[in-house]
């Protein structure tokens, strides 16, 4: 398995960099944009081009591995290994000329993330997390900083299907009231990178499972951060409907109390 993971790390990092550079080169140019669902979520031709770059590299090196990718969906035969690919996390930002986007690639073994690679091509930052081996940014060890800043600065992530769900809006409104600011940048992987660096006090994720998720969670965990459910339990494996809090371990109880207060009926 170690040999597979070493090769996977090399393949994923090179693929992420290639896809990210492609997106950066095309950022100021003309590209087609279409809506892909009833909620107005977008897909660009750059999503598909970047995805092609990544999938070709994975399939060449691991033809027997299953892949789930943002635009193509499922491919390959189910087995112990599963790749999750989001070639352009932050497509809606990209489409309106907002340079907040990234590439996210995750390898799972028996439904547990063992490798996560995120490439922020705008800032040229490559984040790599390996289960049990820590996290790095551009090859340098990444450890979450503990900061006490008074009122909270929190990242908010919600799934596309959540829309204006009453419970979600009640929680979001509560966070707005008790926090200095609540960030919603529409590029979740970048939010997890901020959390792993310690630039945020917490991240609250409301039912947002997807191909971008697990690389960010692994990065935070391997940087020394905590990922817990809304029930306060450590998060492991995968979930079809995740409700999660990410933060420094010292602030778990504080963030959990804030979330529980926001979910309580008025």
Tell whether the model's pLDDT for residue 40 goes beyond 60: no
Comparing C-alpha atoms, which of 11, 40, 56, 219 is closest to residue 129? Answer: 219
Which of the two residues, 35 and 48, has the higher pLDDT score? Answer: 48
pLDDT at 266: 62
Share of the chain above pLDDT 90, in %: 83
Which of the two residues, 9 and 37, has the higher pLDDT score? Answer: 9
CATH class of 2-141: alpha beta
pTM, 2 dp: 0.94
95-154 confidence digits (pLDDT tens):
889 999 999 999 999 999 999 999 999 999 999 999 999 999 999 999 999 877 678 999
Q: In the chain, which ranges are E strands?
A: 33-35, 42-44, 66-69, 73-75, 81-89, 102-109, 112-120, 125-130, 134-137, 140-141, 152-158, 179-183, 202-206, 226-229, 243-247
* Mean pLDDT for all residues in the chain: 93
Domain boundaries, the chain: 2-141, 152-263
- C-alpha distances (whole Å) from 246 to each of 16, 227, 234, 252, 256 are 24, 5, 10, 8, 10
pLDDT at 44: 81
pLDDT at 208: 97
Instruction: With beta carbons less than 8 A apart as the criterion, state whether 21 and 124 touch.
Output: no
Q: Which CATH architecture has domain 152-263?
A: 3-Layer(aba) Sandwich (3.40)
Tell whether the model's pLDDT for residue 265 goes beyond 90: no
pLDDT at 54: 98
pLDDT at 41: 59
Tell whether the model's pLDDT for residue 244 goes beyond 60: yes
pLDDT at 35: 60
Give the pLDDT band (50/70/90) at residue 62.
Answer: very high
pLDDT at 37: 57
Give the pLDDT band (50/70/90) at residue 31.
Answer: low
Question: Quick one: average pLDDT of 60-78?
Answer: 94
């Amino acid at each position: 398995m170690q040999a597979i993971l070493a090769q996977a790390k090399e393949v994923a990092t090179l693929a992420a960099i290639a896809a990210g550079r492609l997106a950066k080169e095309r950022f100021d140019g003309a590209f087609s944009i279409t809506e892909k669902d009833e909620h107005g979520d977008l897909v660009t031709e750059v999503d598909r081009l970047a995805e092609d770059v990544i999938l070709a590299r994975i399939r060449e090196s691991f033809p027997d591995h299953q892949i789930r990718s943002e635009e193509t969906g499922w491919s390959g035969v189910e087995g112990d290994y599963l790749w999750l690919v989001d070639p352009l996390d932050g497509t809606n930002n990209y489409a309106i000329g907002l340079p907040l986007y990234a590439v996210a690639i995750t390898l799972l073994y028996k439904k547990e993330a063992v490798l996560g690679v995120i490439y922020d091509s705008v800032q040229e930052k490559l984040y790599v997390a390996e289960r049990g081996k820590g996290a790095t940014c551009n090859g340098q060890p990444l450890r979450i900083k503990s900061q006490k800043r008074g009122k909270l600065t929190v990242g908010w992530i919600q799934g596309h299907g959540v829309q204006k769900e009453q419970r979600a809006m009640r929680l979001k409104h509560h966070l707005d009231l008790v926090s200095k600011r609540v960030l919603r940048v529409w590029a979740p992987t970048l939010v997890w990178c901020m959390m792993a660096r310690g630039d945020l006090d917490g991240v609250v994720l409301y039912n947002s499972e997807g191909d971008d998720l697990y690389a960010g969670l692994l990065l935070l965990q391997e940087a020394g951060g905590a990922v817990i459910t809304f029930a306060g339990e450590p998060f492991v494996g995968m979930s079809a409907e995740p409700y999660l809090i990410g933060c420094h371990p010292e602030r778990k109880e504080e963030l959990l109390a804030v979330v529980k207060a926001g979910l309580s009926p008025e």
